[in-house]
Chains A and B, each alone.
Chain A
Amino acid sequence: MASSGAACFDRAIDTALALLAWLVALLVVGTIGWIVADLLRQGLPRLSWAFLVELPIDAGRSGGIRPILISTLLILGVCLAVSVPIGLATALFLAEFQRGHRGFGPLVRYSLDTLAGVPSIVFGLFGNAFFSITLGLGFSILSGGLTLACMVLPLLIRSMETALRAVPAEHRLAAAALGLPQRVSLLHIVLPAAAPGLAVGLILGIGRALAETAALLFTSGYVDRLPGSLLDSGRALSVHIFDLAMNVPGGASQAAATALVLVALVLLINGFTGWAAQRWLGSLSSAAL
């Protein structure tokens, strides 16, 4: 019977495709597992509380990473302090006032998407030329943070815009029907309702910022001293990992331990951001009453 043969064939194809999908998914999980296992195997024996609070010794082969950790947090702080307000404002502008396919909005989106595709080394060279030399900030945490802010802004704005657009129009209509001014509806309804989506954007931005090496090598620099101010040069975790792995013979295990700290830091910040967004979303209920 031809029809049963065809059905059999279709079933076989379906099963094969399902198997393939499983295999690919396993491959992805396996890759991540391998990376983490490799880092743990090499880095875990070196990891301790002392590693976090000591100064690096012998070009980072021994000692810890305290100044590097602090520099990284300061660079990230500068980056977020600049990029989040600008990013959120632009995303609000695009999502609430430029919803159409004409006018200024598409131009802004087009330039953002172009910027998002620019390699980070280009941002590094720009940051070095503009912040470090033209503005005279030199190699400093401030230059590094501002360069990172330029780099993460496109990513931040586009994902925040998507989050704001995902808030159902009914929310806005209901607020308008109650005669609430737009700022109240934005601040107390749209933003909290979009909080989980905004947090995803923020997490992507933080991830990209913490992973950045090339741009920081030319802006925040290589100095592994404890920074005295934002105008001091400070080495980021990613730069430290790169240096230990490529320039310091015998630095591989310390590089793995530092990478573990970086991964833990990203997870910690992601967790905190998600928690904060949930709390903000929770505030909807009390605000609505």
Chain B
Amino acid sequence: MALHPKPVPAHGARRRRRSVIPWTVAGLAVMSALGGCGRTSDLKLSLSGSSTVAPLAAEIAKRYEASHPGTRVDVQTGGSSRGIADARTGTAQIGLVSRALKPEEANLQATTIAIDGIALIVNAANPVRSLSDGQIRSIYTGSLTNWRQVGGADAAITVVTKAEGRSTLELFLEHFRLDNRRIRASVVIGDNQQGILTVAADPHALGYVSIGTASQEADAGTAIRLLPLAGIAPSLENVRSGRYPLSRPLNLVIQPPAAAGVPPFLAYASSSEVNDLVEAQFFVPPAP
């Protein structure tokens, strides 16, 4: 073995030897003490599924816990398919599913707690009153670029789309059977508010935002107009009744028979007591 004279590591100031382990243990103890204000609960509900529904479900769960002491509601995410699977296997009592149930899922029971809808919006000054699905698809893929081609003024269309990862984008792409990579957009926006501001400020813009937010803003006098889709007006009534095509129900799904404690929660989550929470997440409350 080669014997290189290697320098011995420099030593720090001479202190009494003290291990770091007690410090670490003390730190962990403090942490568990901070976290460990033990609470007992009699009833535990578990929800799991769609990441679109999860933030709303978690807000409803918090309010439910506050008004029903002794009940704990845990919300987990993982996607709609997981919501269906977990409700079936009983891993979770309630599945979160951001679509209507398919025929092969008819043995499950769905409770709609909110509706996620999208409205196509243009500037209030735009003379175009409606666009067909085909025209919208062509505009978003870049083959129609001027309002003149769809009966409007001679001006280039400002195409406004949503950033990746928004449920609105997902629903929009799915409805128009578009691939996000094929979309040719002039402006990419983050949230609904930004979309509305963009369209209100640009007379030649076309965008899409959550229908709840859009109708609130239009009623409040913001310079936007909601376009009908396939001849159906984007009214909240049409969204609630399911007639408006560009919408999807957000469901709580159970495998009957319902476990103890589940029916009251379902009733609460679909009641008007949580309408403000639904609206705060930019969804439309279901018909009472």
Contacts and interface: CB of A to CB of B under 8 A. Distances in A.
B54 to A, nearest CB: 6
Contacts of A283: 15, 17-18
A212 interface: no
A248 B101 CA distance: 24
A45 interface: no
B192 interface: yes
A283 B191 CA distance: 56
Given A223-B75, A249-B191, A286 B15 contact: yes
Interface in B87-122: 91
A229 B36 contact: yes
B41 to A, nearest CB: 9
A286 B16 CA distance: 7
Given A139-B76, A217-B77, A249-B192, A59 B56 contact: yes
Contacts of A111: none
A276 B21 CA distance: 9
A233 B55 CA distance: 16
Interface stretch (A4-12, A22-30, A73-81, A90-98): A73-81
Contact of B35 (A139, A226, A243): A226
B14 A286 contact: yes
Contact of A284 (B4, B11, B54, B77): B11
Interface-centre pick from B16, B59, B76, B210 (highest chain A CB count, 10 A): B76
A114 B1 CA distance: 31
A287 B193 CA distance: 65
Contact of B28 (A81, A225, A227): A81
Contact of B17 (A59, A218, A287): A287
B220 interface: no
Contacts of B59: 58-59
A278 B12 contact: yes
Interface in B130-159: none
B166 A249 contact: yes
| Chain B residues touching A, majority SS | loop
A287 to B, nearest CB: 6
A260 interface: no
A139 B34 CA distance: 20
A228 B20 contact: no
B272 interface: no
Contacts of A246: 51, 165-166
Contacts of A248: 55, 281
A247 interface: yes
A247 B281 CA distance: 10
A228 B55 contact: no
A61 B264 CA distance: 28
A192 to B, nearest CB: 9
B31 interface: yes
A204 interface: no
A280 interface: yes
Given A74-B32, A168-B6, A285-B14, A247 B167 contact: yes
Given A70-B34, A226-B35, A281-B11, A170 B6 contact: yes
A222 interface: yes
A281 to B, nearest CB: 6
A261 interface: no
A106 interface: no
Contact of A247 (B11, B34, B51): B51
B17 A286 contact: yes
B74 interface: yes
Nearest to A234: B35
Interface string B28-59: 10011011111100000010000110111011
Contacts of A169: 1
B260 interface: no
A71 interface: yes
A168 B4 CA distance: 9
B11 A223 contact: no
B31 A59 contact: no
B9 interface: yes
Nearest to B27: A77
A226 B76 contact: no
Nearest to A284: B11
B31 A74 contact: yes
A278 B36 CA distance: 32
Nearest to A73: B31
A280 to B, nearest CB: 6
Interface string B44-85: 001000011011101100100000000010111110000000
A217 B14 CA distance: 46
A266 interface: no
Contact of A229 (B38, B54, B78): B38
A229 B74 CA distance: 14
Contacts of A224: 58
Given A228-B38, A280-B20, 6 more contacts: A70-B34, A77-B32, A226-B37, A247-B77, A252-B191, A279-B15
8 contacts: A133-B91, A139-B46, A196-B9, A223-B76, A226-B37, A246-B51, A247-B54, A276-B24
Interface of A: 58-60, 70-71, 73-74, 77, 81, 133, 139, 168-170, 193, 196, 217-218, 221-230, 233, 243, 245-250, 252, 276, 278-287
